Amino acid sequence: LLQTAKKGTPQELVSHLVSRQPGSFSEKELVQLTGLSPEEVKAVVSELEGKGEIVSFDGKLYPTQHFEKLKEEVLELLKEHH
């Protein structure tokens, strides 16, 4: 974690954490893990959401690809049961 923090941008750090553990972190938890200020985390999350890289759902952050896969699985289950 510290190596990524030293070498990467805040965007890369947040993106890395969210990708490694989808749905594990809220913005508040990212503040604690990264050492970034709440304002920095909020700005980074907004930027990554704007780029379509991550999505916030129920207070937790997910990589967009992971969230899309879950959505497809749920839709498929609904089709099977209706």
What DSSP assignment string belongs to 43-71? HHHHHHHHTTSEEEETTEEEEHHHHHHHH
- 8: Cβ contacts below 8 Å, ≥ 6 apart: 16
Structure tokens at 41: 């985390």
pLDDT at residue 47, rounded to an integer = 97
pLDDT at residue 66, rounded to an integer = 81
pLDDT at residue 65, rounded to an integer = 87
Given a cut of 70, the residues of the chain with pLDDT beneath it are 1-7
